[in-house]
Amino acid sequence: MKLDFQHTQAAHCENGVTTSLLRHHGVNQITEPLAFGIGSGLFFIYIPFMKVNNGPAIAFRTQPGLIFKRTCRALDIPVERKKFRSPEEAEKVLMNCLKAGQPVGCQVGVYYLTYFPKEYRFHFNAHNLIVFGREDDQYLISDPVMEMATSLSSYELQRVRFAKGAFAPRGQLYYPKERRAVTDDQMRKAIRSGIKHNIRYMLQVPGNIIGIRGIRYTAKKIRGWRDKLGLEKAGSYLAQLVRMQEEIGTGGGGFRFIYGAFLQEAFAYHPLDELQEISGQFTRSGDIWRSAAVQAAGIYKGRIGSQADFNLMSDYLNESADIEKAAFTALSKIKWPA
């Protein structure tokens, strides 16, 4: 059994699943940048006292699952989401969906994901893919980060759906419940509210670890890493930062380029020159994030490593923070036509 479903590649897994499922349900306007922007995906957080793979806990995007949820809500599309105790029940529900012609989004862990290269298989449990059919024992899989559709045996799929640890997926599956066309007017409203929420996350969350203030906080921490951790461990920390920023899924520059693309696409719905201009600011910020990554690589590869090198790294982050603060402030001042 193979559903009529179009695999499309995306930069990020959750954007990709959201885009593909919505398109399948008749939302022809949706693209990856639009899904990311409407879902208010851009974010920054540094969680102190928490370790991920023995390194700092840093994220450039919002919490897993939220982009799909927010985008569907903004477009007024009802969503079904289920978690399971038993793998048997999880498989039964999945099969029922497929029989009903419904491709299904699944949250999975990547450690046992067989088609991934071994180097990428850490215990990361917030990956997303779409199941769109079954032939004999093989489930047909559309994984948005892969160029081609692929497949997993029923055992392999069960294993990744019931991966354990932080963010354990517990067999979680989700899909839009109804086929609904979306009007351009709805798109306009969704884009506006997506931007509005993103401004709030980046500028207005209290405390100093989230949004622009979180970037500055990280910049300050980095300055101290060399003395506090020693050169080698500081290098590992920087490598972790770079992986969160550039690894598969970010589209480059810690999602800043996808956000720039979103603002340009938003221009098609809201022809306001500010959007184009601010898009350029995100491109600049993303470029600075990438310069910071090059600087970090110099440190973790042992080519450079003086305190001045750490300071420069920190300055890059502050520069990005300045630009993004100006960009979001400009977004908050836009006069949207009624």
Partner 1 sequence: MKKTETPQDLGALGKITNEICYAVDESGKYGTVLSNGWEVKSSALDVAWHDVEKRIETARQRVMDKEASPLLFFMELHVMDIPIVAAYTGFWKWQVKKHLKYSVFESLPESKLEKYARLFEVSIPELKTMKKNEA
The verdict on 264 binding partner 1 (CB under 8 A) reads yes
Indicate which single residue of 46, 174, 257, 328 sits in contact with partner 1 (rule: CB under 8 A).
Answer: 257
The verdict on 167 binding partner 1 (CB under 8 A) reads no
Residue 162 · residue 37 · CB < 8 Å: no
Residue 165 · residue 149 · CB < 8 Å: no
| Torsion, Cα of 105, 111, 112, 114 (10° steps) | 80
Stretch that binds partner 1, among 76-84, 86-94, 110-118, 172-180 (CB under 8 A): 110-118
Q: Smaller CB distance to partner 1: residue 21 or 163?
A: 163
Q: Smaller CB distance to partner 1: residue 53 or 63?
A: 53
Report, in Å, the least distance between residue 242 CB and partner 1: 4
Q: Dihedral sign, CA of 20, 22, 25, 29?
A: negative
The verdict on 273 binding partner 1 (CB under 8 A) reads no
Stretch that binds partner 1, among 97-105, 160-168, 211-219, 318-326 (CB under 8 A): 160-168
Report, in Å, the least distance between residue 317 CB and partner 1: 16
Q: How many CB atoms lie within 10 A of CB 206?
A: 7
Indicate which single residue of 4, 49, 100, 117 sits in contact with partner 1 (rule: CB under 8 A).
Answer: 117
Indicate which single residue of 253, 281, 319, 328 sits in contact with partner 1 (rule: CB under 8 A).
Answer: 253
- Residue 259 CA to residue 37 CA, distance in Å, equals 6
Residues from 287 through 316 that contact partner 1 (CB under 8 A):
287, 290, 293-294, 296-297, 300-301
Which helix (H) or strand (E) segment holds residue 85: the answer is none
* Token pair 């989700």 in the structure block, residue: 174
Q: Smaller CB distance to partner 1: residue 46 or 111?
A: 111
Q: Which of 29, 84, 10, 39 is nearest to 251 (CA)?
A: 10
Burial 29-43 (b: 16+ CB within 10 A, else e): bbbbbbbbbbbbbbb
Cα-based angle 179, 183, 189 (whole degrees, multiple of 5): 115
Stretch that binds partner 1, among 8-16, 127-135, 199-207, 308-316 (CB under 8 A): 8-16
Residue 330 · residue 274 · CB < 8 Å: yes
Helix axes 13-24, 66-74, angle to 10 degrees: 30
The verdict on 108 binding partner 1 (CB under 8 A) reads no
Q: How many CB atoms lie within 10 A of CB 100?
A: 8
Q: Smaller CB distance to partner 1: residue 59 or 293?
A: 293
Cα-based angle 323, 233, 165 (whole degrees, multiple of 5): 85
Indicate which single residue of 100, 148, 308, 338 sits in contact with partner 1 (rule: CB under 8 A).
Answer: 148
The verdict on 115 binding partner 1 (CB under 8 A) reads yes
Q: Smaller CB distance to partner 1: residue 87 or 252?
A: 252
User: Which residues of this protein are in contact with partner 1, per CB under 8 A?
Assistant: 9-11, 33, 53-55, 111, 115-120, 122-123, 145-148, 164-166, 168, 235-236, 238-240, 242-243, 246-248, 251-253, 257-258, 260-261, 264-265, 279-280, 283, 286-287, 290, 293-294, 296-297, 300-301
